[in-house]
A and B are shown apart, each in its own frame.
Chain A
Amino acid sequence: MELKDKACIVGIGETRYCRKPGSGMSEEALQLAASRAALEDAGLKGRDIDGILAFPNVGKCEALAANLGSENLRFAAIIHMGGATPVASLRLAAMAIATGQANHVLIPGGWNGYSGARVRQTVSTDKHSLPGGGIAWDYYLPHGLTAPPQWYALMARRHMHEYGTTHAQFGAVAVAMRRHAQLNPGAVMCGKPLTIGEYLASPMLADPYRVNDCCLETDGGTAVIVTSPERARDLGKPPVYIMGAAAGQPYPADEITNRRDFHRTGLTIAAPEAFRMAGVTPADADFAQIYDCFTFEVIQQLEEAGFCRRGEGGSFVENGAIELGGRLPVNTHGGLLSEAHSLGIGHIVEAVKQLRGAAGARQVEGARIGVVTGWGDFGDGSIAILRR
């Protein structure tokens, strides 16, 4: 059975995204506030939700259902793919809806990424609760490799070596995201433009990554709701159809250094499947919301998703090509780099806004088809191809 057009997104919800002084809410409250906003957007009630796909570590399906009054919960799961989880959850939601396992599936997320525990202050005391798990504990941490920008810096450096990818090309990604954020009043970096000169002067964090190559740490909640096309007809908002969706793992997924093909990620496997399912090609996309935890990951995912050939991602992002008005507008909301780090659900929300024609000053004119990706852990990947 094919999943194409068997499910659609009918509700989106967001809280305010902020840094100082913090949300003043619990992470559960952020998820609930965003979920309530998504329900209102869809014209649904909490009791209509019979499926919940929560975010690992921060979300609990049972507690969310109890607060929302979802008395008929019959499909609850958590996919452990880090930032690739929300888009992978879109696929799982579509599978559940297409097979009759659920009618309305909620995908909520939210955290206090700024005012809660910050990455640099956190010391994990449990080998197996560590991001990256026991292998990172035994073989990476003792050598000072402790956090995601450092893991991915190893990939970025190798790509620079093999393909000549440059700091300025990383900077083109950072600048594009920041330009888009100037058109998004909800973006944390709205009103704070960034030039390539400022980018290149920003301090090095984990070579080749500078501070401005890294996503924001923010507070906020975000949610989407998925249902069937039949049910969508009775709801208030124009449905956004899931044309294709897939997820994949790098090999090995639990260890970065011993990949025979160092640049092969989960998306390398997932993208061809999603495009085949959708019956379109990357060239058909009017925009792409690419999970931008760090700048190079945008370049890498553009390559592995097939928007360009491997090694050509650096030149692909130059000269404004991924900015509004360019060949492929990427992260029209500003992304994790300049809007907020909403665990990747913000990328789905922005794709829905674009396909509804409701993106305001940053609207991609006539947008019909859009791509959303997720990236997590040591290179887990997910992708959805959406249409209006």
Chain B
Amino acid sequence: MSQDTVACDKPLPALDGLSGQFYGWCRQGELRFQRCTGCGAFRHVPREMCPHCNSMEWEWARSSGRGTVYTWTVVERALHPAFVNATPIAPVVVEMEEGVRLLSTLVDCAPADLAIGMPVEVVFEAVTPEVTLPRFRRAAR
């Protein structure tokens, strides 16, 4: 899959609240997830409260960056004007070693080679000076 140049009209995260903190770590080249300091459970997407123990105390804990592909799709026809010239795009759900899953794309895998269970590791792509997205590349098993 080509590293397409990201046009300015592609949607970007809002960078407000907890989302801003998550992407702030990405901008520093670190993938971090919230970890409850009450019960130790990781969570993603960022939320105010731990759904396991209802603690509102948490920390940003650094992820190993490693995971496996849990499921995927290949968008052949864009349903958003900003992606019309970017297809095919292959959004994947990555299951991280910490147990949480996140939606991303792979930087080095043709859609035809996508497979559930494929080991991947995080890389970072600065799509604007303010926003860095976590993406993934294939990893050794």
Q: Residues of A with Cβ closer than 8 Å to B?
A: 119-121, 123, 127, 134-135, 137-147, 149-150, 153-155, 157-158, 161, 203-209, 252, 255, 257-258, 262
Please judge, given known A-B contacts A143-B133, A157-B73, whether A120 and B91 are in contact too, CB under 8 Å: no
Which 7 A-B pairs give the minimum distances between C-beta atoms? A147-B79, A153-B73, A144-B89, A146-B80, A141-B11, A207-B74, A158-B71
B57 at the interface (CB under 8 A from A): no
A–B pairs, 19, beta carbons within 8 Å = A120-B79, A123-B81, A134-B19, A137-B11, A137-B13, A138-B14, A138-B19, A139-B13, A140-B103, A141-B11, A142-B10, A142-B13, A142-B133, A143-B105, A145-B73, A145-B103, A154-B72, A204-B77, A208-B73
**CB pair B93 A154 closer than 8 Å:** yes
Partner of B79, one of A119, A143, A207: A119
**CB pair B80 A204 closer than 8 Å:** no
**CB pair B80 A123 closer than 8 Å:** yes
Q: Residues of B with Cβ closer than 8 Å to A?
A: 10-14, 19, 43-45, 51, 70-83, 86, 89, 91, 93, 100-105, 111, 116, 127, 131, 133
**CB pair A139 B45 closer than 8 Å:** yes
**CB pair B80 A141 closer than 8 Å:** yes
**CB pair A144 B86 closer than 8 Å:** yes
Enumerate chain A residues within 8 angstroms of B91, measured Cβ to Cβ: 140, 143-145, 150, 154
**CB pair B74 A206 closer than 8 Å:** yes
**CB pair A203 B77 closer than 8 Å:** yes
Enumerate chain A residues within 8 angstroms of B43, measured Cβ to Cβ: 258
CA distance A229 to B139 in the complex (A): 64
Partner of B76, one of A138, A141, A205: A205
**CB pair B101 A257 closer than 8 Å:** yes
CA distance A102 to B13 in the complex (A): 44
Instruction: Report A378 CB to chain B, min CB distance, Å.
Output: 12
Instruction: Report B90 CB to chain A, min CB distance, Å.
Output: 8
Closest to B86 in A: A144
Known: A120-B80, A142-B10, A144-B83. 18 other contacts (CB 8 A): A134-B19, A137-B11, A138-B13, A138-B19, A143-B89, A143-B105, A146-B78, A146-B80, A147-B80, A150-B91, A153-B73, A154-B71, A154-B93, A155-B71, A158-B116, A204-B76, A255-B45, A258-B44
Enumerate chain A residues within 8 angstroms of B45, measured Cβ to Cβ: 135, 138-139, 255, 258
CA distance A60 to B19 in the complex (A): 33
Partner of A207, one of B83, B102, B111, B127: B111
Instruction: Report B72 CB to chain A, min CB distance, Å.
Output: 6
**CB pair B76 A157 closer than 8 Å:** no
CA distance A252 to B79 in the complex (A): 25
CA distance A207 to B105 in the complex (A): 15
